[in-house]
Amino acid sequence: MNEKILTLKENNLKQKENSDERKQMLLTSVPVIVLVLMVIFFEIVSEGRLLSLRNIDALFNSMFSIALGASGVAFLMAQGSLDFSMGGIVGLTAALSGFAAGVSPVLSVVVGIITGGLCGLLNGIIHAKFKVSAIITTLSTAFIFRGIQGTLITQGAVSLPGSMMFLEDTTIKVTLMMAVFIVCGIFYTKTKTGKFCKAIGAGEEASHQSGIKVTKYKIGCFVLSGAMAGLVGFFYLVRAASASANTGSGFEFDVLLAMLLGGMPISGGSGARFRSVIIGSLIMTVLSNGMILWGLDSVLQQFIRGIIFLVSVSISFDRRNITTIV
């Protein structure tokens, strides 16, 4: 009799575990489901234009910058940090890359990445060494970077030399994006860098006590985020063949929204997954593009975008390991 009860209990436990697992799988699949539903919906309402060859090209070009930026920010978000200075870094690096482009294309890329890295270093030092919250740090430095950008570009825009126009090439961008995804993905999921970032997001004090060099990883991730923003700035310059005093404006919110839509938890930790970068960037781009093809009133577009964002994030937000929601 006792054995029967034990077996029953074991079976019930197993069933509960399986049910929890299924629930978890469904939860983590929500962004993918949202993406698929969105593609189907917009493909229908646009009468097949969404997935036309030319539109896929346009989608990819829109997605490219967000995906690159998100790849860098993913490490920061795993730590529970945010970077509101990305737009400022993109604009500043686009301007400096434009000036350097007059000398050589290689210098242009290098200047962009290094400047971005240095901007990230400033953010990292202020945040990690002076213990100022990431949001306040990056909001403040955003003013600084924008101001420097505005000081550098006083007339018109910085132009890209004609000899560099060839860099606006889908093959180059696809290759670069794949390389970034693979390298960042491996770092994020298979190396201690990614694991330590998530550990810091899960519990900074516990990570510190466990021997993780928290300050070093915080600064490092800001440098990475800044460097990726620098690379985005370079490609902004290439794509538009110029950089203006407004270049990069609002980019940080595009990236943040993409990450959240992709299911990235804002507090970081073990629920942070690199696939949020890819899925989130796709959702952002398909949503923006789809609503235009749909022919919606522009004000209504914003309203619907807000609702979709709210619903999507609330379904996919991982509340398992969070005791408090702030």
Partner 1 sequence: MDGRKLKGIAGSLLLPLAIYLLFVITARERFAGLGVLRAIVIQSFIPLLCAYGMVFGRSMRMLDLSIGSRIIAASMIGGIAAENYNLGLVGFVAVTVVSSILLGAVCGLVFRYFRIPSIVVSLVIAMIFEVIGAKVTNGMGFLKLDKELAVLGGIPYNVIVVIITTIIFYYVYYKTKFCYNVRAISGDEVIAGNNGINVAKTKFLAYVVGSFFIGIAAIIQISYATSMSAKLSMESLSMSFKPLMAMIIGVQLQDYIGLPVGIFIGSFMISTLFSGLVALGFPAPAQDIALGVFLVIVVSMSTNTEKIGELLQKRKRSRAAA
Partner 2 sequence: MKKRLVAVTMAAVMAAGTFGVTVPVYAKDDSSFTIGARFPVTIDQMQQQTMDNITQLVEAAGGELLVENAALTPEGNIQAYERLIAAGVDGLVVIPAADSVLPRIKEMCEDAEIPWSVYYRSILDEDIKKEVESSEYYLGNTYEDEIMAGYNLTAKMGEAGCKNIVLFSTALGDTTGAQREEGMNQACEEYGIEVINEFRATAQASDAAQSIESVLTTHPEVDGIFIAAGTITPGILPAITSVLDQYGRDDVKITIIDYPQGLQDAFADGYMLAACGGHNVTDPLFATSLVLNKIKGTPLSEEAFSVRINQMILESEEDVVNYFKYCESGVPTYTPDEAKEMLFKWENDEVTQESFLKVAEEYTIDSVIERHKGLVD
Apex 93 CA angle, 101 and 64, nearest 5:
95
Q: Does 144 bind partner 2 (CB under 8 A)?
A: no
Residues that bind partner 1 in the complex, under the rule CB under 8 A: 82, 126, 130-132, 135-137, 139-151, 245, 250, 253, 256-257, 260, 266-267, 298-300, 302-303, 305-307, 309-310, 313-314, 317, 319, 323-326
d(CA 90, CA 53): 29
d(CA 210, CA 195): 13
Q: Does 39 bind partner 2 (CB under 8 A)?
A: no
- Measured from the CB atom, the residue of 104 and 246 that comes closer to partner 1 is 246
Which partner, partner 2, partner 1, none, binds residue 114 by CB below 5 to 8 Å per kind?
Answer: none
* Count of CB atoms situated within 10 Å of the CB of 218: 24
Q: Does 293 bind partner 2 (CB under 8 A)?
A: yes
d(CA 125, CA 280): 29
Structure tokens of 81?
A: 């940090």
Q: Which amino acid is at 296?
A: L
Cβ neighbourhood burial of 75 (10 Å; 0-12, 13-18, 19+): buried
* Count of CB atoms situated within 10 Å of the CB of 144: 14
Which partner, partner 2, partner 1, none, binds residue 162 by CB below 5 to 8 Å per kind?
Answer: partner 2
72 within 8 A of 233, measured Cβ to Cβ: no
Which partner, partner 1, partner 2, none, binds residue 267 by CB below 5 to 8 Å per kind?
Answer: partner 1
- Measured from the CB atom, the residue of 121 and 293 that comes closer to partner 2 is 293
Which partner, partner 2, partner 1, none, binds residue 138 by CB below 5 to 8 Å per kind?
Answer: none
Q: Which residues bind partner 2 (CB under 8 A)?
A: 41, 45-47, 49, 52, 54-55, 57-58, 61-62, 65, 150, 153-157, 159-160, 162, 165, 168, 236, 239-247, 249-250, 289, 292-302, 304, 307-308, 311-312, 314-315
